[in-house]
Amino acid sequence: MARVAIVGVGAIGGVLAALLEVTGSHEITLCTRRPMVRLTVRTPGSVVTVKAKNFTAPALAEPVNWVIVATKAYDAQGAAAWFPALCKNNAPVAVVQNGVEHRERFAPYVNPDSIVPVIIDCPVEHQKDGTVRQRGPAHMKAEAGPLGAEFVQLFEGSRAQVEQTADFVSVAWRKLCVNSVGALSALTMKPAGVLRGEAMAEIARQMVAECVAVGRAEGAQLDDSTAQQVLDGYRAQPLDSVNSMLADRLAGRPMEIDTRNGIIVRKGAKHGIKTPLNQMAVALLQVL
């Protein structure tokens, strides 16, 4: 049994907690800003009520065996405030966030060698009643290594597909290709169905093509069919499916602009690659 703390219990953090709960093998701690009376996750096959400790201040936290960070990427400093207490016994930190800078984001706060970058694919939404709705299966890929193997073992017995990858760069940039298109929903204030129209679909393809070009310059292996695959994935979702960037805008929360589209623009400039559509999306989202 491992003591596992989840820092940031939004939609993704809730799903991670539910997956750990289902294993029946761990003591779970939820680190949140406000008290959580109950965490209920509605999965495709069941309803999971997570039994966990809940701490609302870093000073109250206790040492654990593993820390999983599931906050928004822009809140690295806030998440890191929990590390001195949680990582007192050198617990590794799994960073389950969007973007391609998992280790760089937290290197100022914890030994980089103890960081495990993780990419998750899971359609999930935070409901108005406080529950978390998991619309489909969860897939996670952790950077390969001894800690990556330990992370995979944490979820044995759950319904998630969790594996290691020796090419985390490609995995992260492919997920970024998917996330980049989420800006279109945030801009139009419309869920996934907005991409059923061909005009919006073509914009999405071009945004992904920019991401592919930059990702390849960064060492990612991305083939020419990536843009169409990303579009097909969005079109396979329910028409009312809401991605996290749109959810944040609807709720009046900060959006992961730099993590999802800004990074494409920044890395593109570094390599001399033009990214006009992502640059425009960043400018418009920053104004909003």
pLDDT digits (tens, 9 = 90+) for 231-268: 999 999 999 999 999 999 999 999 999 999 999 999 99
DSSP 200-232: HHHHHHHHHHHHHHHHHHTT----TTHHHHHHH
Would you tell me how many other CB atoms lie within 10 Å of the CB of residue 149?
Answer: 12
User: What pLDDT is attached to residue 195?
Assistant: 96
d(CA 266, CA 208): 15
Q: What are phi and psi of 108, to 5 degrees?
A: -70, -15
Q: What is the mean pLDDT of residues 139-151?
A: 98
Catalytic residue list = 175
User: What pLDDT is attached to residue 180?
Assistant: 98
Q: Evaluate if residue 128 carries a pLDDT over 90.
A: no
Position 87 confidence tier, pLDDT thresholds 50, 70, 90: very high
Tokens 């020796």 found at: 166
Over the range 236-272, which residues count as b (16 or more CB within 10 Å of their CB) and which as e?
A: ebeeebbbbbbbbbeeeeebbbbbbbbbbbebbeeee
User: What pLDDT is attached to residue 184?
Assistant: 98
Q: Evaluate if residue 1 carries a pLDDT over 90.
A: no
Euclidean distance between the first and final Cα of the chain, in Å?
Answer: 46
User: What pLDDT is attached to residue 126?
Assistant: 87
**Cα separations (Å) of 95 from 22, 52, 119, 235, 260?**
21, 20, 8, 29, 16
25: nearest Cα among 57, 65, 60: 65
Q: What is the mean pLDDT of residues 90-115?
A: 97
Q: What are phi and psi of 115, to 5 degrees?
A: -95, 135
Q: What is the mean pLDDT of residues 10-35?
A: 96
Q: Evaluate if residue 90 carries a pLDDT over 90.
A: yes
User: What pLDDT is attached to residue 169?
Assistant: 98
pTM, two decimals, is: 0.95
What percent of the chain has a predicted confidence (pLDDT) above 70? 100
User: What pLDDT is attached to residue 61?
Assistant: 96
Q: Evaluate if residue 45 carries a pLDDT over 90.
A: no
Q: Evaluate if residue 221 carries a pLDDT over 90.
A: yes
Position 130 confidence tier, pLDDT thresholds 50, 70, 90: confident
User: What pLDDT is attached to residue 153?
Assistant: 97
Q: What is the mean pLDDT of residues 38-62?
A: 95
Q: What is the mean pLDDT of residues 82-110?
A: 97
User: What pLDDT is attached to residue 127?
Assistant: 87
User: What pLDDT is attached to residue 186?
Assistant: 97
Position 287 confidence tier, pLDDT thresholds 50, 70, 90: very high
Tokens 């952790």 found at: 142
pLDDT digits (tens, 9 = 90+) for 171-213: 999 999 999 999 999 999 999 999 999 999 999 999 999 999 9
- The full set of domains in the chain, from first to last, is 2-166 (3.40.50.720), 169-287 (1.10.1040.10)
- In this structure, of 121-130, 141-150, 174-183, 210-219, the range with the lowest mean pLDDT score is 121-130
User: What pLDDT is attached to residue 279?
Assistant: 98
User: What pLDDT is attached to residue 129?
Assistant: 85
Q: What is the mean pLDDT of residues 41-70?
A: 96
Nearest-10 crossing angle of helices 168-188, 263-271: 120
**Sheet bearing 66-69, strands edge to edge:** 52-55, 26-31, 2-7, 66-69, 93-96, 115-121, 139-143, 161-165
